[in-house]
């Protein structure tokens, strides 16, 4: 049952966070409110803030790890979902979507309209509002590449205002909005192209699948189809019948190591697995390594620890930690710590979690 169906008709009632997250984990919250318009969102948060009530904002729940103890306050599910199209001052087409709109539905609609820019971000679960917070990215494209502006609610004074991408300190899987709740995203504007072609294909795996050179542009519908196929093969497209998708997506970010640290890390890798090619990419501040590659070489295979465990690494992709049914958040965190510590012991690289942790920590 979807979160919307589960709780749309019980405002103010206690809920289980396991019903609101893609991991299907998390304990109870004191109360639940679902808001379907921006006006409702402003009024609800203003009322709760004035009452001193702790609040947890939830969109699609795809990037949350909630403790077994739950949340001692009110969960506010952001479900405003209007989507419109307009033109930027320089003539570029834009899509402007409410924070509660389903992200992949927005992507699919832009592709259907033959508009380019979002196609590489197909299949990512969750709501629009989380995308600039996390600077969501996949297959060589990040929200930072297309973002034109974000409308936020300033909870200090209850006002709405648009802020520019330069104000958000967008970086790899983070922004000035992440881990802060003083400003709430209510609407996101993204710039698109109107020639029917994708953004330049930067990701090697996607370019190979498409049969093109990196940097080429491809019809948007073709790119979306291939991205969905690649994500499905890794258990990264939600499917209630597939426990490999009962996850928060990639649990760890790809680590960025400094140029000074890289030689020592490469020596540790060579000592453990031999002289093999190590996936690495230029990044701000150093070199980005593949977390999934490191996890596997540290001895954690797909499906680890075994088929009887209630929490396992995905059988399709070692970067996802999955709930096989009947799990607890603490069991998930125990496995995450084992993987993190194992990679650090093997290679001297400490992995950092990508999801937002609520009431718990690694």
Determine whether 302 is an active site residue: no
Question: 362 with 353: CB under 8 angstroms?
Answer: yes
Determine whether 250 is an active site residue: yes
Considering 173, 187, 224, 297, which one is annotated as catalytic?
A: 173
Question: 354 with 65: CB under 8 angstroms?
Answer: no
Residue whose C-alpha is closest to residue 13's, from 32, 40, 27: 32
Phi/psi at 269 (nearest 5 deg)? Answer: -65, -45
Cis peptide before 305 (omega within 30 of 0): yes
Question: 148 with 113: CB under 8 angstroms?
Answer: no
How many CA within 13 A on the CB side of residue 142?
13
Determine whether 82 is an active site residue: no
Angstrom distance (rounded) from CA 291 to CA 293: 5
Phi/psi at 17 (nearest 5 deg)? Answer: -65, -20
Considering 67, 250, 297, 314, which one is annotated as catalytic?
A: 250
∠ CA 232-243-355 to the nearest 5 degrees? 80
Catalytic residues: 173, 250, 354
């Amino acid at each position: 049952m979807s979160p919307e169906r589960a709780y749309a008709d019980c405002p103010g009632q206690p809920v289980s966070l396991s019903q609101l997250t893609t991991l299907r984990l998390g304990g109870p919250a004191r109360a639940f409110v679902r808001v379907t318009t921006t006006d409702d969102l402003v009024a609800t948060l203003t009322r709760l803030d004035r009452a001193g009530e702790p609040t947890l904002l939830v969109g699609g729940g795809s990037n949350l790890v909630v403790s077994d103890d739950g949340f001692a306050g009110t969960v506010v599910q952001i479900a405003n979902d209007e989507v419109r199209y307009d033109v930027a001052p320089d003539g570029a087409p834009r899509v402007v979507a409410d924070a509660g709109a389903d992200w992949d539905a927005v992507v699919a609609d832009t592709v259907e309209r033959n508009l380019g820019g979002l196609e590489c971000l197909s299949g990512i679960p969750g709501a629009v509002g989380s995308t600039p917070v996390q600077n969501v990215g996949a297959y060589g494209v990040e929200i930072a590449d297309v973002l034109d502006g974000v409308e936020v609610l300033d909870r200090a004074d209850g006002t709405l205002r648009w802020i520019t991408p330069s104000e958000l300190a967008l970086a790899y899987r983070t922004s000035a909005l992440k881990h802060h709740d003083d400003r709430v995203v209510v609407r996101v504007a993204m710039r698109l192209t109107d020639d029917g072609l994708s953004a330049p294909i930067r990701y090697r795996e996607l370019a190979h699948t498409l049969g093109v050179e990196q940097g080429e542009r491809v019809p948007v519908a073709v790119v979306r189809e291939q991205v969905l196929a690649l994500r499905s093969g890794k258990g990264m497209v939600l499917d209630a019948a597939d426990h490999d998708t009962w996850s928060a997506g990639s649990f760890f970010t790809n680590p960025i190591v400094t140029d000074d640290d890289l030689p020592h890390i490469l020596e540790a890798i060579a000592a453990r697995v031999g002289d093999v090619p190590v996936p690495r990419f230029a990044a701000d501040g150093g070199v980005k390594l593949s977390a999934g590659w490191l996890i596997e070489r540290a001895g954690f295979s797909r499906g680890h620890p075994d088929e009887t465990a209630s929490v396992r690494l995905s059988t399709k992709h070692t970067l996802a930690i999955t709930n096989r049914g009947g799990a607890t958040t603490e069991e998930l965190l125990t496995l995450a710590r084992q993987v993190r510590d194992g990679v650090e012991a093997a290679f001297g690289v400490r992995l950092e979690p990508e999801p937002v942790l609520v009431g718990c920590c690694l």
